[in-house]
């Protein structure tokens, strides 16, 4: 924090928006003598009626992850990392909701966006996919849940990785052979979404395409972000492609089901997820 203050000044700011328009706003004030810092989220939007509110613990985790990533040293992961940090998170906001607010999406969606905002304030790298692309499907006999990879944002000395989970996640996807053996579905396509990463001196990573067809009627649900607002580039790099969630009907008609949806899907239909890429960094020569 002291080195950042010496190079860039004692104050840093960033803002990003969820797909519904809710802002996540951050002001960081650093004491250049001690290295202590205040992370002030005043200006973040109010809690929402949906389920992507995030309890303060999610923001604490996002900040400690971001700071450890920026340090460049292998330091222990514990509360001591936050000793020099003070938080200001307005009550009844997206990041500090009331006790009766829905929060399941805060851990898998909003957490990613908080990380992007922190890294943006420190001018560290372009936005990553900003989402975990949560997919569930099942019926009255079984249920299945997976999270799907996307593109990572590029930085000043690196290209963004393609087809990976980024930041706050620790899940791995089921192997195609296991998926089809254990569940009544066929995986029609699982591939990189070429060209979805933002261009720049360093190109952002590509998202993926995952297309699933049921072998009996099922209910499929998707909880996702970055379907409206693009993952941004940095330092002149271009933004990445948004994600898309598509229902391909039997007659070939393609329906965009939006970022958050639960729908019945019949035999012969397919659910196609196109996940976001990562933003590019720097102007391309």
Instruction: Name the one residue in this structure whose structure tokens are 């803002």.
Output: 15
Model-level pTM?
A: 0.94
Same domain, 142 and 278: yes
Q: What is the pLDDT of residue 74?
A: 80
| Domain finish residue from 92, 124, 156 | 124
Reported as half-sphere exposure (CB side, CA atoms, 13 A), residue 117 has a value of: 25
Task: Provide the domain limits for residue 252.
Answer: 125-285
Count of structural domains, the chain? 2
State the pLDDT confidence band at 224, using cuts at 50, 70 and 90. Answer: very high
State the pLDDT confidence band at 9, using cuts at 50, 70 and 90. Answer: confident
For 30-72, how does the pLDDT look when each residue is reduced to its tens digit (9 = 90+)? 998 898 999 999 999 999 999 999 999 999 999 999 998 888 7
The answer to whether residue 258 scores a pLDDT higher than 90 is yes
> Which is more confident, 158 or 81?
158
| Domain finish residue from 82, 97, 124 | 124
Same domain, 95 and 165: no
The answer to whether residue 8 scores a pLDDT higher than 90 is no
| Residue of 248, 32, 8, 278 whose CA lies nearest to 257 | 248
Map 182-220 to HEC letters: HCCEEEEEEEECCCCCCCCCECCCCCEEEEEEECCCEEE
Same domain, 256 and 183: yes
The answer to whether residue 7 scores a pLDDT higher than 80 is yes
Same domain, 160 and 117: no
Mean pLDDT of the 86-90 span: 97
């Amino acid at each position: 924090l002291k080195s950042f203050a010496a190079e860039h000044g004692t104050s840093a700011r960033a803002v990003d928006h969820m797909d519904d328009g809710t802002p996540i706003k951050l002001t960081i004030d650093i004491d250049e003598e001690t290295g202590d810092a205040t992370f002030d989220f005043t200006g973040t939007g109010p809690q929402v009626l949906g389920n992507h509110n995030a309890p303060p613990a999610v923001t604490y985790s996002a900040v400690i992850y971001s700071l450890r990533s920026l340090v460049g040293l292998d330091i222990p992961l514990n509360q001591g990392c936050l000793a020099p940090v003070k938080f200001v998170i307005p009550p009844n906001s997206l990041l500090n909701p009331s006790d009766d607010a829905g929060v399941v999406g805060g851990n898998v969606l909003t957490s990613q966006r908080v990380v992007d905002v922190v890294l943006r304030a420190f001018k560290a790298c372009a936005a990553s996919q900003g989402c975990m692309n949560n997919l569930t499907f099942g019926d009255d006999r079984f249920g299945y849940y997976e999270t799907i990879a996307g593109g990572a944002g590029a930085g000043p000395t690196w290209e963004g990785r393609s087809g990976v989970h980024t930041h706050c996640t620790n899940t791995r996807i089921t192997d195609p052979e296991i998926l089809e053996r254990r569940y009544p579905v066929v995986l029609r396509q699982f591939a990189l979404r070429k060209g979805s990463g933002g261009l720049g001196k360093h190109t952002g990573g590509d998202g993926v395409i995952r297309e699933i067809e049921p072998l009996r009627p099922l209910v499929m649900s998707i909880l996702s972000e970055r379907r409206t607002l693009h993952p941004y580039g940095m330092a002149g790099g271009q933004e990445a492609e948004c994600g898309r969630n598509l229902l391909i009907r039997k007659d070939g008609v393609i329906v965009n089901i939006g970022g958050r949806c639960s729908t019945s899907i019949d035999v012969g239909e397919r659910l196609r997820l196109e996940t976001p890429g990562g933003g590019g960094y720097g102007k391309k020569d």
